[in-house]
Structures are given as C-alpha cells and as structure tokens.
Amino acid sequence: MVLLGSEGFVVLTCLSFTLVGVDSISGNLPPPEDLSLSWHPSSLIVSVNWREPAGLDAKCKVNYTLAIYELKCPPRQNASYKLRTEKLSHEYKISKECDICVGITTNPMVCEEKKASEEIYKALSPPLALVTNFSCAYYANGKMNCTWSIVKYTPDLQLFYRFSEENTQKHCKSYLTTGILKTGCHLDDEDLTTHVKVYFVISGSVENHLTSNNFMIDKHVSAVKLPKPKVYITQEGERLHFQASTPNFLPPQCLKYKYIYNKCNEKNEVFIENSSTHVEYDSACKYTVRGQVVYTNYCAPQNIESEMSEPEFYGEDCDPNLAFKVAMIITPLIVCCCLIAAIVLFRRNKDIILPKIPEPSLFFKDMLNSTSDGLSKSLGGGKLYVPVKEVVASGVSLEPKSSLLHPNHDTCI
C-alpha cells in the first residue's frame, strides 16, 4: 500500500512510534536487535552477536546482561552462565554440544529514568550428530581410549584432538573398529600426562556437506579409569601390613584406598588415605584380604572406584581348643599303652613277684600220716615234725632177653 502526502507521513510516524517508542513511553529501554547464535566450526564454542537497540538516545549509555541456558527455549531453570558486558558479542565455551538458549536484556548505565528492557531469547540447536555416547577412559600415563556410537555410516569419519584452543590439531593414529565402522580411537601421547582437558573434533560428510561434532574431556574428572590393584601382605611382628599397588598417572591426593578382610570368618573394613595399613595379627586365624582404589570427590564430581582386587590369603585357621582336644585323645592312649606294658612285664616276672607257697592241705596231711619218727603224739613232747622220707628203689636194672630161650617163651627175670 502506498501512502501519499501528509496522511502517509502521519501513519509512518505512528508505526515507528509503535514499534520503537513503546518502551520509551513505558520507561523501559528497548532490547538489543539482531540477536544471533552460531557454533564455532572446530570448537565447543557458541558465538553470540547482537546490535544496540534502535532509537537509543545518544546520551544514554547502556550495557547488556547475557544469560545462557543449556536447554531449549523458553528456559525453565536458572541460567548456566550470566555475564554483564558493554560489548556486542560474546563467546561461550561448553563441555558438549547441546540445545542452547540465550537471553539478553539492555541495562541503563547513564539514562534518565530508564529501566532495563525485557529479556529476549534466541535458541540454537546442536549440529547434526555424526556420533553419540562419546566417552573416554584414561587408564595409564599417556594412554586413553575414546569410544562412540555411530548415528549414520560416514565413510570419511575422522577424529582430531588437541590439548588447548591454541594447539595444533592431531590426527587419531589408531582407530578402534567394529566391522567397517570406526567406533573408537586409542590415544598414546606423552602430552596426555601434562594436560588435563582434551578437545576432540569428529568430522565427516553427510549428504555432501561437511559436518563436525565437538567434544571436551576432562581426563581427571570424567575419564578416569582406575586399574584393579594388587594387594601384598607381610607380617611385621604382631601385626600384618597390607600394601596396594598405586596408579601413577593420577595425583596422590585424589586417591583413597579401601581394604576388606576376613579374619576367622569375621568381616572387617578399613578406609584410609594411604596405600598401606597395619592390622593386629591373630595367628589362630586365616586372613583373606581384598583392596580397592577410590578416586575421591576431592578431584572428581563423585567417587570413582576401581574393581576389587583378587583375594590374597595369609595364615591358617586353628581351633582354639585344639590343645585340650589333643590331650583328651592322647592321654587315654598313653594310659592304655602303659597298662598293657605293665601286664606284659608282670606276666614275665610273675614267679619273682609272687613266689610259690606250699598248699596247707599237704602240710596237715603229712602231719597226720607221720610215724614214731615223726611228730610225737604228745603235743607237749617238744619234738618238731619231721616229714617221712619217701623210699626210692635203687640198683634195679633190666636184663636183655636170652637168645637161648625159645622164641615162643617169654621169661621174666
């Protein structure tokens, strides 16, 4: 529609007043114009740009409040980042590509009776994802494995990394594959030992357009993978000394150690800051010890624990009543053996120990059968009993048979 003459001028003035001057009448400053957001091509950086409000009085000096929300617009949580600046641009570093919502307001510095403008919002979606579930595991000095899941097969997929924004990008030299797909990268770089944050760029062509995804890994916060320790047990006097192997690629102040040991089926747990500890030793018990390394929340958002070590054993279980039981078994055996030996010795020396005694019946029989040479019938005679001597024939011999006699006659001599 074309407006001519004074009427057109009046309508145009009214429109300008409506679009630009409403905030001035209400006492609020106008918001910034042409707010724009963009991803940095090779970094996890969001670039924010705007222009100063139109129709701003030249005598009015303002600054801007920038609020960044790592979520979709309109924001329903507090801002992740806030900044007040007089500049017309800003770059914001994030840890991963995600939905970004930016809010901005105009604030009066030297403006008479003016208030801050209303907050306006602008959304920025993450770039097209080539991969998801990107994660890394830092497990030894200068060694880290990074893995991801493929969203869409990209033949020219490549991974680059660097340790700071200023450093030159390095190319992955050893890819981990699943079939023909690149699903990871093994990093073996001495610079990993001196740098904490690592920046990654995964790039590839999708529908003839070069696309890249950016990631940042803080290897001491989200990428630590603790190795399973080895536990050593030694006896020192009346105590046992537990020593666990320590990972040498992490700050010692970030590590704690946990020991779980069984003593005579009694479970105990020790949580210490050093890699070694001492416990009282009971020689009657068998000790089963396992250790674990813990990366504490002093250096990470939450405790990261290693796997439990293989069990180590020391000593043997003993019965506390073993001596009594042994005595109860051995004592009767000793008594039985002694009794048997005594019986055998007694039988062998019976005649010495118990000599033969004449029977009283024979003694009295001899007394009754005695002659005048024996005991006097008068008990008052004063003679002693003399046993009767037995008569033994002597001088008797046998003559040989005579050859003169007829063989059919036997003659007794």
Nearest alpha-carbon partner for 108 in 157, 149, 142, 57? 57
Asked if 372 contacts 385 with a C-beta cutoff of 8 angstroms, the reply is: no
pLDDT of residue 398: 64
pLDDT of residue 391: 62
**Mean per-residue pLDDT for 210-216?**
88
The first and second tokens of residue 37, run together, are 């957001």
**Mean per-residue pLDDT for 342-346?**
84
Q: Is the pLDDT of residue 282 over 50?
A: yes
Work out the pLDDT band at 393, boundaries 50, 70, 90: low
Q: What is the pLDDT of residues 243-274, one digit of tens each?
A: 999 998 888 889 999 999 999 888 999 999 88
Please give the biggest Cα pair distance in the chain. 208
Per DSSP (E only), the strands in 115-174 are: 120-124, 131-140, 143-150, 158-162, 170-171
Tell me what the pLDDT averaged over the chain comes to. Answer: 81
Q: Is the pLDDT of residue 137 over 80?
A: yes
Higher model confidence: residue 141 or residue 326?
141
Higher model confidence: residue 11 or residue 92?
92
Q: Is the pLDDT of residue 287 over 90?
A: yes
Higher model confidence: residue 48 or residue 384?
48
Q: Is the pLDDT of residue 10 over 50?
A: no
What structural domains does the chain harbor? Answer: 33-124 (2.60.40.10), 131-223 (2.60.40.10), 227-314 (2.60.40.10)
| Residue 273 to residues 279, 289, 301, Cα–Cα distance (Å) | 15, 17, 18
Q: How far apart are CA 159 and CA 213, in angstroms?
A: 10
Work out the pLDDT band at 347, boundaries 50, 70, 90: confident
Cβ neighbourhood burial of 87 (10 Å; 0-12, 13-18, 19+):
exposed
Q: How far apart are CA 276 and CA 232, in angstroms?
A: 9
Residue written as tokens 């993978």? 225
pLDDT of residue 26: 53
The first and second tokens of residue 243, run together, are 């020593």
Least confident range from 4-8, 30-34, 76-80, 322-326: namely 4-8
The first and second tokens of residue 201, run together, are 């760029």
- Among 4-13, 311-320, 357-366, 372-381, which range has the highest average pLDDT? 311-320
Per DSSP (E only), the strands in 207-346 are: 209-218, 231-236, 239-244, 255-263, 266-272, 276-280, 287-295, 304-305, 312-314
| C-alpha count within 13 angstroms, C-beta hemisphere, residue 249 | 22
Query: What phi and psi values does residue 202 have, to the nearest 5 degrees?
Result: -110, 120
pTM score: 0.60
Asked if 141 contacts 248 with a C-beta cutoff of 8 angstroms, the reply is: yes
| Residue 378 to residues 270, 365, 370, 382, Cα–Cα distance (Å) | 109, 17, 13, 8
The first and second tokens of residue 124, run together, are 């920025």
Q: How far apart are CA 79 and CA 103, in angstroms?
A: 9
Q: Is the pLDDT of residue 372 over 80?
A: no
CB atoms under 10 Å from CB of 243, counted, come to: 17
**Mean per-residue pLDDT for 232-236?**
94
